[in-house]
């Protein structure tokens, strides 16, 4: 297959992943669906901290989704592997936010 076709396939997959992660982030932060993260967090996060924990975790997942989405758009337009920079930045920032929220509120 040609390189252009591979870039189109990769960009479609990245766009779908971005939409999925944005949807999950919305469900976690706005609807406080803590069960979408992991079942362990039901017992460890207190009711008073549940709203803040869900907000931070949801924003972290939203950042990951935006990174995937931007990377998919950049891959479609640029046709270069430099388009994976937004995905890498989104993953690093989102995972850092998820870890910091987990450390702070899982006690």
pLDDT in tens, 4-21: 898 899 999 999 999 999
Task: Give per-residue pLDDT as tens, 61-105.
Answer: 999 999 999 999 999 888 887 888 999 999 999 999 999 998 898
CA angle, corner 98, sides to 94 and 104, nearest 5? Answer: 145
Distance of CA 22 to the CA centre of its chain: 6
Residue 38 has pLDDT above 80, yes or no: no
The model's pTM is 0.90
d(CA 37, CA 49): 15
């Amino acid at each position: 297959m040609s390189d252009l076709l591979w870039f189109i396939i990769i960009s479609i997959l990245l766009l779908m992943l971005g939409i999925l992660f944005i949807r999950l982030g919305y469900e976690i932060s706005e609807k406080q669906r803590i069960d979408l993260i992991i079942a362990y967090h039901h017992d460890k996060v207190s009711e008073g901290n549940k709203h803040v924990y869900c907000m931070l975790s949801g924003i972290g997942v939203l950042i990951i989704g935006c990174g995937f989405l931007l990377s998919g758009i950049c891959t479609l337009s640029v046709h270069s592997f430099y388009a994976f920079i937004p995905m890498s930045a989104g993953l690093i920032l989102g995972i850092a936010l998820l870890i910091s929220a987990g450390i702070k509120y899982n006690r």
